[in-house]
A and B are shown apart, each in its own frame.
Chain A
Amino acid sequence: MNSKLVRWALSAFVLFGALMLAGALSLCVGSVGIPLKRLLCLPFEGRGSVEYSILFDVRLPRLLLGIGVGGALAISGVVLQGMFRNPLVEPYTLGISGGAGLGVSLNVALRMYRDVGTVSIPLSGFLGAMGTVLLVYILGTRRGRMGLQRLLLTGVMISFICSSAIMLIMAVSKAEDLHGIIFWMMGSLEEPHGWLIKLVLVTSLCGLLTSYVFAIDLNALSLGEEEAAHLGVKVERAKRALFILASLLTGFSVSAAGIIGFVGLVVPHFVRMFVGGDHRILLPASYLAGSTFLVLCDTLARTIIAPLELPIGVITGIVGGSLFVYALSKRKYEF
């Protein structure tokens, strides 16, 4: 039996188990505790009990969104770090979060959501994200070639422009709108639209499958674009596809859950540290680890000072950052 395959299967299995445990935990704990035994019986009891509606109307959607968003951000980070061969790149580097934030801020400040409905919030976020990505793509492409440094710099600049514009909007908007904007920007897995949750989950799973098609290309790309081309990789096509993929994944995540930072930066590094840099295992492992991480962070965020809820970004940053720095000091790590 191929030892590499065994090792990979084992890592995937362990991570899947971790996700299952984290999922069960997130369903059990909260303002109303549901014991594990009860959790297993509830689906068969049918509607009626308070616990049933807490489980299926509140906690399960949150769990599913956490899995979708965590996984999407993590693989988007893997893809971008791999393609740019830069350990500091993350899904928000290219201006996606800035654009989405700008879209939402404009929406809230102009109170468009009052006429169009709350669905316009994720929609404006998505449009803002896609608008900036398109701009970055056009500015970063010359003669049909994506210059990666150029793309990166353009993305960072557009990000800054967007954040300045957001600050401007916040400076001139009313206090109640301000609250709405800040709340959205801090990110949360609370999402009232069930279809959006399903959409994000399906997109992120499709994204994982699509990215997997490029796993070998990403491996070859880690030797540099020219070397990859020498190995027969269609470099421009791969870069374009991966860029679009990462943008869509991040765009959907951000519009549903706001700007949850750190997952896309730290999870890929963390996973690389344990399973290695081969994208054939790195991609699925990061998906699972990203989901697990976000689900756990969300569980912490809503239990730590219950009944109040901490912004999930606070937890991802503090917990994720400290864990990573600790691991980095203990292990040998090569990007």
Chain B
Amino acid sequence: MSSEVLKVDDLTCGYGDRPVLKGLSFSVEDGELLGVIGPNGSGKTTLVRALTKILEPMDGRILLEGRDIKEMDLSELARRIAVVSQNPEGGSWMTVEEFVLLGRVPHRRKFQLLETKHDEEVAERAMALTGTLGLKGRLLKELSGGERQLVSIAKALCQEPKLLLLDEPTAHLDIAHQVRVLDLIKKLNRDDGLTAITVLHDLNLAGEYCDRLLLLKDGKLCRTGLPEEVLDPRVIEDAYGVKVVVGRNPASSKPYVFPIPNAK
């Protein structure tokens, strides 16, 4: 039996009494890198919020390593799932090191004042892995968007999670940083066996880096499978309502989506 890290079972979830996700089911295997794609408003961010208990499911269950997350308290959950958010803000007074060390918060014991030696080692390692050790003493607000994203990943790694959740980690980044961030995630996934789910807008980056894609449409599962299976012209047109041609990336021979403009 293969080990399932995450199982989402018939999940209905939303805001107020308006469901955004409607009966979504899928599971994630240990060591998998899953890309979640879908049009705006299809429920990608809502899914992230449900997985971190920011939103409570209206129906259905979320099992993390076989246990319903409803039974876990937030700090237990934060030791297993770490999130890299879409628009990091705030904390401008912090240095990068202080920021990354916040990843140790879920591991703190009651009445613990300072970070332990172990906390500092974990933070150091996380910064080394993400190539941000050199930024250690810099203020958070002095960082560029790309650097900020890398230290956010370092903070998430500092939580020592079983599952890493990334909500559009490449949004607003230039092409170099997009590649750098996704290379890093791929490396963590392949070399350290870290299971990761990443929400991505860019279909081509999703196809390039992810083992498997999950396409959402109107809060429901539209298609899941290998990038070649999901990035299919008919599937994309059905989900996004736009005509595309799918070719291959000459370097990696992964599927590459070319949009067909409607305007003459």
Contact = CB atoms under 8 A, between A and B. Distances in A.
A138 interface: no
B78 A223 contact: no
B85 interface: yes
Nearest to A234: B74
Contacts of A278: 98
Nearest to A215: B113
Interface stretch (A47-55, A98-106, A225-233, A253-261): A225-233
Given A216-B108, A223-B91, A335-B93, A230 B141 contact: no
Contact of B141 (A4, A5, A276, A334): A334
Interface string B54-84: 1000000000000000000111111100110
A223 B108 CA distance: 18
Contact of B93 (A5, A226, A230, A277): A277
Contacts of A223: 88-91, 99, 102
Given A220-B102, A232-B78, 16 more contacts: A222-B91, A223-B88, A223-B90, A226-B85, A229-B52, A229-B53, A229-B74, A230-B52, A230-B78, A230-B82, A230-B85, A232-B75, A232-B106, A277-B94, A334-B93, A334-B141
Interface in A192-244: 216, 219-220, 222-224, 226-227, 229-234
Interface string A248-284: 0000000000000000000000001000111010000
Nearest to A277: B93
Contacts of B1: none
A224 B93 contact: no
18 contacts: A216-B105, A216-B108, A219-B102, A222-B91, A222-B93, A223-B88, A224-B90, A226-B54, A227-B90, A229-B74, A231-B102, A231-B106, A232-B75, A232-B76, A232-B78, A232-B105, A234-B74, A334-B141
A231 B78 contact: yes
B249 interface: no
A213 to B, nearest CB: 8
A232 to B, nearest CB: 3
B207 interface: no
Contacts of B74: 229, 232-234
Nearest to B101: A219
B146 interface: no
B79 A272 contact: no
A149 interface: no
B92 interface: yes
B255 interface: no
A5 B78 contact: no
A231 B102 CA distance: 8
Interface string A1-40: 0101100000000000000000000000000000000000
A2 B106 CA distance: 22
B91 A233 contact: no
Contacts of B114: 2, 4-5
Nearest to B158: A231
Nearest to B142: A334
A23 B85 CA distance: 48
B113 A280 contact: yes
User: Chain A: interface secondary structure?
Assistant: loop
B105 A233 contact: yes
Given A226-B85, A230-B52, A232-B75, A85 B90 contact: yes
B221 interface: no
Contact of A227 (B76, B79, B85, B139): B85
Nearest to B105: A231
Contacts of B227: none
A186 B165 CA distance: 53
A224 B73 CA distance: 19
Interface in A63-92: 85
Contacts of B106: 231-232
Contacts of A231: 78, 102-103, 105-106, 159
Contacts of B113: 280
B54 A232 contact: no
B171 to A, nearest CB: 16
A15 to B, nearest CB: 18
B79 A232 contact: yes
Interface string B97-130: 0110011011010000110000000000000000
Most chain B CB atoms below 10 A, which of A4, A223, A231, A277 = A231
B188 to A, nearest CB: 18
A232 B90 contact: no
Nearest to B117: A2
A216 B141 CA distance: 20
A172 to B, nearest CB: 46
User: Which 9 A/B pairs are nearest by Cβ-Cβ distance?
Assistant: A232-B75, A277-B93, A232-B78, A232-B106, A230-B83, A334-B93, A231-B105, A232-B74, A334-B92
* Max chain A C-beta neighbours (<10 A), residue from B53, B113, B139: B113
A277 B93 CA distance: 6
Contacts of B85: 226-227, 230
